[in-house]
Amino acid sequence: MISFINANCTFRKNAGVKNLNFSIDDGEFVFLTGPSGAGKSTILRLIYMDLFPEKGKVLIRDFDSTRIRDREIPFLRRKVGMIFQDYQLLKDRNVYQNIALALYASHYKTREIKSRVYSILNQVGLGHRVHHRPMELSGGEQQRVAIARALVKEPIVLLADEPTGNLDPRVSIELINLLNKINKKGTAVIVATHNYSLIKRVPGARLIQINEGEITSIT
Protein backbone atom coordinates (compact mmCIF):
# COMPACT_ATOMS: atom_id res chain seq x y z
CA MET A 1 0.00 0.00 0.00
CA ILE A 2 2.81 2.43 0.93
CA SER A 3 6.28 2.05 -0.54
CA PHE A 4 9.38 4.14 -0.11
CA ILE A 5 11.85 3.44 -2.90
CA ASN A 6 15.33 4.95 -2.44
CA ALA A 7 13.60 8.06 -1.12
CA ASN A 8 15.77 11.02 -0.14
CA CYS A 9 14.39 14.25 1.15
CA THR A 10 16.24 17.18 2.66
CA PHE A 11 14.12 20.20 3.41
CA ARG A 12 16.47 21.99 5.78
CA LYS A 13 20.17 21.79 6.43
CA ASN A 14 20.84 18.45 8.17
CA ALA A 15 17.12 17.72 8.39
CA GLY A 16 15.47 15.08 6.28
CA VAL A 17 15.70 11.42 5.36
CA LYS A 18 18.15 9.41 3.29
CA ASN A 19 17.78 6.41 1.09
CA LEU A 20 14.54 5.04 2.56
CA ASN A 21 13.41 1.62 1.37
CA PHE A 22 10.45 0.02 3.06
CA SER A 23 6.82 -0.91 2.50
CA ILE A 24 3.73 -0.90 4.66
CA ASP A 25 0.82 -3.19 3.85
CA ASP A 26 -2.92 -2.69 4.25
CA GLY A 27 -4.11 -2.97 7.83
CA GLU A 28 -0.65 -2.84 9.43
CA PHE A 29 0.18 -1.06 12.67
CA VAL A 30 3.59 0.58 12.43
CA PHE A 31 5.56 2.60 14.92
CA LEU A 32 8.20 5.01 13.65
CA THR A 33 10.57 5.66 16.49
CA GLY A 34 13.74 7.58 17.05
CA PRO A 35 14.99 10.66 18.81
CA SER A 36 13.67 14.14 18.06
CA GLY A 37 14.83 15.33 14.64
CA ALA A 38 15.50 11.77 13.44
CA GLY A 39 13.13 12.15 10.47
CA LYS A 40 9.90 10.56 11.74
CA SER A 41 7.72 13.55 10.85
CA THR A 42 9.47 13.85 7.49
CA ILE A 43 8.40 10.29 6.64
CA LEU A 44 4.80 11.13 7.51
CA ARG A 45 4.96 14.35 5.48
CA LEU A 46 6.29 12.35 2.55
CA ILE A 47 3.31 10.01 2.87
CA TYR A 48 0.71 12.79 2.77
CA MET A 49 2.84 14.54 0.17
CA ASP A 50 3.49 17.71 2.03
CA LEU A 51 7.09 17.03 1.06
CA PHE A 52 8.48 15.30 -2.01
CA PRO A 53 11.66 13.25 -2.31
CA GLU A 54 14.47 14.77 -4.32
CA LYS A 55 15.61 11.30 -5.23
CA GLY A 56 13.66 8.07 -5.35
CA LYS A 57 9.91 7.98 -4.84
CA VAL A 58 7.02 7.30 -2.52
CA LEU A 59 4.02 5.30 -3.67
CA ILE A 60 0.68 5.36 -1.89
CA ARG A 61 -1.68 3.00 -3.71
CA ASP A 62 -1.97 4.62 -7.16
CA PHE A 63 -0.39 7.89 -6.16
CA ASP A 64 3.24 8.26 -7.22
CA SER A 65 5.23 11.15 -5.72
CA THR A 66 7.13 11.61 -8.97
CA ARG A 67 3.98 11.89 -11.08
CA ILE A 68 1.30 13.38 -8.89
CA ARG A 69 0.00 16.82 -9.89
CA ASP A 70 -0.77 19.56 -7.37
CA ARG A 71 -4.49 19.27 -7.98
CA GLU A 72 -4.42 15.52 -7.24
CA ILE A 73 -2.92 15.94 -3.75
CA PRO A 74 -6.32 16.66 -2.07
CA PHE A 75 -7.58 13.34 -3.44
CA LEU A 76 -4.63 11.53 -1.87
CA ARG A 77 -5.25 13.28 1.45
CA ARG A 78 -8.85 12.12 1.46
CA LYS A 79 -7.43 8.59 1.67
CA VAL A 80 -4.90 9.48 4.35
CA GLY A 81 -6.07 10.51 7.83
CA MET A 82 -3.72 12.62 9.94
CA ILE A 83 -3.47 13.55 13.58
CA PHE A 84 -0.90 15.77 15.24
CA GLN A 85 0.48 16.57 18.65
CA ASP A 86 -1.26 19.97 18.59
CA TYR A 87 -4.54 18.43 17.27
CA GLN A 88 -4.98 21.13 14.59
CA LEU A 89 -8.66 21.63 15.31
CA LEU A 90 -10.42 24.82 14.33
CA LYS A 91 -11.10 26.69 17.55
CA ASP A 92 -13.99 28.74 16.18
CA ARG A 93 -16.05 25.67 15.31
CA ASN A 94 -17.62 23.02 17.48
CA VAL A 95 -16.80 19.31 17.45
CA TYR A 96 -19.49 18.49 14.89
CA GLN A 97 -18.37 21.25 12.52
CA ASN A 98 -14.70 20.27 12.81
CA ILE A 99 -15.45 16.71 11.77
CA ALA A 100 -18.09 17.57 9.17
CA LEU A 101 -15.63 19.90 7.43
CA ALA A 102 -13.59 16.89 6.29
CA LEU A 103 -16.69 15.39 4.70
CA TYR A 104 -17.85 18.62 3.08
CA ALA A 105 -14.36 18.91 1.58
CA SER A 106 -14.86 15.42 0.12
CA HIS A 107 -18.27 16.46 -1.29
CA TYR A 108 -20.51 14.24 0.85
CA LYS A 109 -24.24 14.97 1.11
CA THR A 110 -25.58 16.65 4.26
CA ARG A 111 -27.62 13.65 5.41
CA GLU A 112 -24.67 11.32 5.08
CA ILE A 113 -22.39 13.80 6.78
CA LYS A 114 -24.72 13.92 9.78
CA SER A 115 -24.95 10.18 10.20
CA ARG A 116 -21.23 9.65 9.71
CA VAL A 117 -20.23 12.37 12.18
CA TYR A 118 -22.55 11.05 14.92
CA SER A 119 -21.43 7.49 14.27
CA ILE A 120 -17.70 8.28 14.45
CA LEU A 121 -18.17 10.44 17.55
CA ASN A 122 -19.83 7.50 19.29
CA GLN A 123 -16.96 5.26 18.23
CA VAL A 124 -14.40 7.57 19.85
CA GLY A 125 -16.63 8.05 22.89
CA LEU A 126 -17.48 11.70 22.33
CA GLY A 127 -21.16 11.45 21.45
CA HIS A 128 -21.96 13.80 24.31
CA ARG A 129 -19.50 16.51 23.20
CA VAL A 130 -20.96 17.28 19.77
CA HIS A 131 -21.65 20.97 20.38
CA HIS A 132 -18.57 21.79 22.41
CA ARG A 133 -15.73 23.83 21.05
CA PRO A 134 -12.18 22.44 21.18
CA MET A 135 -11.16 24.80 23.98
CA GLU A 136 -13.91 23.35 26.17
CA LEU A 137 -12.42 19.86 25.86
CA SER A 138 -9.48 18.18 27.57
CA GLY A 139 -6.32 17.35 25.60
CA GLY A 140 -7.33 13.70 25.31
CA GLU A 141 -10.78 14.64 24.07
CA GLN A 142 -9.36 17.05 21.53
CA GLN A 143 -7.07 14.34 20.23
CA ARG A 144 -10.05 11.99 19.94
CA VAL A 145 -11.89 14.65 17.93
CA ALA A 146 -8.85 14.86 15.67
CA ILE A 147 -8.94 11.05 15.29
CA ALA A 148 -12.65 11.20 14.51
CA ARG A 149 -12.01 13.85 11.86
CA ALA A 150 -9.25 11.72 10.34
CA LEU A 151 -11.33 8.53 10.38
CA VAL A 152 -14.66 9.90 9.24
CA LYS A 153 -13.57 9.77 5.58
CA GLU A 154 -12.62 6.11 6.02
CA PRO A 155 -8.96 6.49 5.10
CA ILE A 156 -6.71 3.63 4.07
CA VAL A 157 -4.12 4.76 6.58
CA LEU A 158 -4.10 6.87 9.71
CA LEU A 159 -0.91 8.85 10.34
CA ALA A 160 -0.25 10.02 13.88
CA ASP A 161 2.61 12.43 14.53
CA GLU A 162 3.53 12.34 18.24
CA PRO A 163 -0.17 11.97 19.10
CA THR A 164 0.48 11.63 22.82
CA GLY A 165 3.02 14.44 23.08
CA ASN A 166 0.63 16.70 24.97
CA LEU A 167 -1.20 14.02 26.94
CA ASP A 168 -0.63 12.50 30.36
CA PRO A 169 0.38 8.77 30.57
CA ARG A 170 -3.13 7.49 31.38
CA VAL A 171 -4.75 9.35 28.46
CA SER A 172 -1.85 8.35 26.21
CA ILE A 173 -2.55 4.69 26.91
CA GLU A 174 -6.26 5.21 26.24
CA LEU A 175 -5.38 6.84 22.95
CA ILE A 176 -3.06 4.04 21.85
CA ASN A 177 -5.76 1.53 22.76
CA LEU A 178 -8.19 3.50 20.58
CA LEU A 179 -5.73 3.50 17.68
CA ASN A 180 -5.26 -0.24 18.14
CA LYS A 181 -9.04 -0.70 18.03
CA ILE A 182 -9.20 1.31 14.83
CA ASN A 183 -6.43 -0.78 13.35
CA LYS A 184 -8.27 -3.98 14.25
CA LYS A 185 -11.15 -2.78 12.07
CA GLY A 186 -8.79 -2.72 9.07
CA THR A 187 -7.28 0.75 8.87
CA ALA A 188 -3.50 0.86 8.72
CA VAL A 189 -2.00 3.03 11.45
CA ILE A 190 1.43 4.66 11.45
CA VAL A 191 2.46 6.32 14.67
CA ALA A 192 5.56 8.48 14.92
CA THR A 193 6.66 8.61 18.54
CA HIS A 194 9.69 8.65 20.77
CA ASN A 195 7.60 7.27 23.65
CA TYR A 196 8.85 3.66 23.76
CA SER A 197 6.46 2.66 26.52
CA LEU A 198 3.55 2.99 24.08
CA ILE A 199 5.01 0.49 21.65
CA LYS A 200 4.60 -2.35 24.14
CA ARG A 201 0.86 -1.61 24.24
CA VAL A 202 0.39 -2.85 20.68
CA PRO A 203 1.69 -6.37 20.42
CA GLY A 204 2.41 -7.38 16.86
CA ALA A 205 3.04 -3.86 15.62
CA ARG A 206 6.00 -3.31 13.33
CA LEU A 207 8.74 -1.06 14.53
CA ILE A 208 10.81 1.11 12.23
CA GLN A 209 13.66 2.82 13.97
CA ILE A 210 15.20 5.93 12.48
CA ASN A 211 18.23 7.91 13.38
CA GLU A 212 19.63 10.94 11.58
CA GLY A 213 17.32 10.37 8.66
CA GLU A 214 18.26 6.75 8.09
CA ILE A 215 16.47 3.55 9.02
CA THR A 216 18.50 1.71 11.61
CA SER A 217 16.21 -1.28 12.05
CA ILE A 218 12.88 -2.71 10.95
CA THR A 219 11.27 -5.39 13.07
- Point out which residues bind other proteins (CB under 8 A): 48, 71, 74-78, 82, 88-92, 101-102, 104-110, 113, 149, 153
- Per-residue exposure over 127-148, b if at least 16 CB sit within 10 Å of its own CB, e if not: eebeeebbeebebbbbbbbbbb
d(CA 30, CA 193): 11
Closest CA to 192 of 47, 59, 76: 47
The nearest distance, CB 160 to other proteins, in angstroms, is 13
Q: Nearer to other proteins by C-beta: 33 or 40?
A: 40
Minimum CB distance to other proteins, residue 105 (Å): 4
Q: Are 51 and 42 in contact (CB under 8 A)?
A: yes
Residue number with CB closer to other proteins (72 or 168): 72
Residues 6, 54 contacting (CB under 8 angstroms):
no
In the complex with other proteins, the residue whose CB is nearer, 45 or 129, is 45
- Using an 8 Å Cβ cutoff, are 82 and 45 in contact? no
- Shortest Cβ distance from residue 29 to other proteins (Å)? 22
The smaller minimum CB distance to other proteins, of residues 52 and 108, is found at 108
d(CA 146, CA 126): 11
Q: What is the residue-wise DSSP string for 73-134?
A: HHHHHTTEEEEETT----TTS-HHHHHHHHHHHTT--HHHHHHHHHHHHHHTT-GGGTT--G
Residue 180 C-beta: closest distance to other proteins, Å? 23
Q: Give the chain's end-to-end CA distance (angstroms, integer).
A: 18
Least separation in angstroms between residue 149's CB and other proteins is: 7
Residue among 152 and 215 whose Cβ is closer to other proteins: 152
As measured in angstroms, the least distance from the Cβ of 19 to other proteins is: 27
C-alpha torsion angle, residues 45, 30, 38, 57 (rounded to 10) = -50
Residue closer to other proteins by CB (options 44, 202) is: 44
